[in-house]
Structure 1
Amino acid sequence: MTPNEYLQKILKQQSLSNDSPEIKAIRKEKEIVEEILRKEFSESNPTIRYGGSKAKGTMIKESYDLDIVCYFKHDDKNAGDTLKEIYANMKQALEDKYYVEPKTSALRLKGKDTDNFQQDFHIDVVPGRFVNDKNYDVFLYQSIGDKEYLKTNIEKHITHISDSGLHNVIKLIKYWKIRWGIFGLKTFVLELLVIKVLESINNERLDELLTKFWQELKDNVNNIKVEDPANPIGNDLSTHFGTSIKNQLSSISRGALDQIDNDNWESIFGPIQDKDEYNNIAITTAISSQKRNSAKPWSY
């Protein structure tokens, strides 16, 4: 098996089809969430749609999350006068059904009932308000940072990924990030980093693209700058791509290149597993993780 054939099998192993149990589950939960939001904010008629890796086509089985964006018209006040109020009102609306974990701009949904307490539904709800009547750019509330709002554009993010033609490389690098414990790097920044490094490379072989990516991180990571395509000036990503994470990326990339030199791709991405074996491992891991991380109702 050639390295490229091996990587194609890893991609297939990490793919999530529309009829997979994971996608069916989050699609079902998305319908419940949307029903709650449309009922609560019926006077506002918000725009609700997929965002994140589902919309960008970069979702992998090892770590999949669904972003549900819920955007209100620029002059709508029914959902809240300010972005902070919209965020708080949406959190309150979802708390009847879910345990809601606040994040910087999103609301993470987990189980609230005794039979699913603290179960992670892999769903982040992202409230926002359109900048103007064009319904294109959006302001999001930020609970952390120097300013309480962030201007962004999900359509620009999706287009940026789509136009790159690097979906498969991004999926593999996301998998590499998880397997090698690079937890300090935001996935969005990682996607931008892949495109920044490889956008001018005309090569369809995954093994060569990955080697080029890791080589650049090993040798030149300190000179790489990533920018938010939706707001390159207003959204400073340097705090998410600082010296510490750059040093980590350079070191781990060096390790990956050493394994490639030894023709040992399996040490980077693991062995190929048949479908039944992989599903059994995934189920066992999920159950073990839930037992480890989920607090019980009576522990509060």
Structure 2
Amino acid sequence: MKKYLNELLEKAKITSVQRQENASIIDDIKKLLGSQFDAPVYFRRGGSLAKKTANIYDADIDLLCYLDDSTNMTLEQIYEDTYLVLSKTYIVNKKNSAIEILGKQDDYSWDYRIDIVPGKYVNYESSYDVFYGVIKIKRN
């Protein structure tokens, strides 16, 4: 049984080609967002791709996008500005704690699920965390 399960897991692994495609998409998003703010922007992969547990049947790209603590922007401003920048290139949907990319403008072959999670680095003496707050989004 263990051997059978390992074989199934091996067949469902993300391929190196898929990893390369994911890396290319992430690079494009980093270029879009990297210079749009008043402070340095940092990126970190999250979810199953970061944990290397992604499979071909259900894998999305989670990209944490957080600003340096030198920014004067609120979390809501970071979220809204991220949404506006992404919406110029991608079809996007607002979620409570992320911006979901549903496709690329004028690209009907898009086959990825991406969640961009905007945040703000918080540097307190006792804590070195990133604040990803759940904010209320006004639906258009």
Q: Check whether TM > 0.5.
A: yes
Normalising to structure 2: TM-score of the pair? 0.85
Q: Contact (CA 8 Å) 1:105, 1:142: kept in 2 or not?
A: yes
- Determine if contact 1:26/1:122 at 8 Å carries over to the other structure: no
Deviation of residue 142 (structure 1)?
Answer: 1.4
Amino acid of the structure 1 residue aligned with 2:114: I
Displacement of 1:61 after TM fit?
1.4
| 1:63 counterpart = 2:58 | yes
For 1:112 and 1:12, locate their aligned partners in 2 and report how far apart those are by CA, in whole Å: 30
Aligned CA distance change for structure 1 residues 121 and 75 (closer, same or farther; 3 Å): same
Between Structure 1 and Structure 2, whose CA radius of gyration is higher? 1
Counterpart CA distance in 2 for 1:8 and 1:45 is: 42
Rounded to whole Å, the distance in 2 between the matches of 1:98 and 1:143 is 22
Secondary structure of the equivalent of 1:131? Answer: strand
Whole-angstrom distance in 2 between the partners of 1:103 and 1:51: 17
**2:61 partner letter:** L
Identity rate of aligned residues, in percent? 30
Match for 1:13 among 11, 22, 28? 11
SS of the residue aligned with 2:135?
coil
**2:19 matched to 1:23?**
yes
Confirm whether residue 98 of structure 1 aligns to residue 94 of structure 2: no
Q: Is the 8 A contact 2:39 2:70 kept in 1?
A: no
* Equivalent position to 2:118, from 112, 118, 127: 127
Q: Is the 8 A contact 1:69 1:128 kept in 2?
A: yes
Unaligned 5+ runs, structure 2: none
| 1:281-292 matches, cutoff 5 A | none
Please, what is the CA RMSD of the aligned residues?
2.2
In 1, distance between residues paired with 2:69 and 2:106? 39
Distance 2:51 2:106 in 1: 34
Q: How many residues align?
A: 136
Cα offset for 1:106? 0.9
Q: Does 1:107 align with 2:107?
A: no
Alignment partner of 1:89 is 2:87: no
Greater relative contact order (Cα < 8 A, sep 6+): 2
Given the alignment of the two structures, is residue 40 of structure 1 paired with residue 36 of structure 2, yes or no?
A: yes
What is the CA deviation profile of residues 96-142 of structure 1, one whole-angstrom value per residue up to 9, with x for unaligned ones? 1101111121111122433328x452211111012216783121131
d(CA) in 2 for partners of 1:87, 1:126:
8
What SS does the corresponding residue of 1:12 show, helix, strand or coil? Answer: helix
**Is 1:65–1:123's contact at 8 Å kept on the other side of the alignment?**
yes
Equivalent AA in structure 2 for residue 128 of structure 1: G
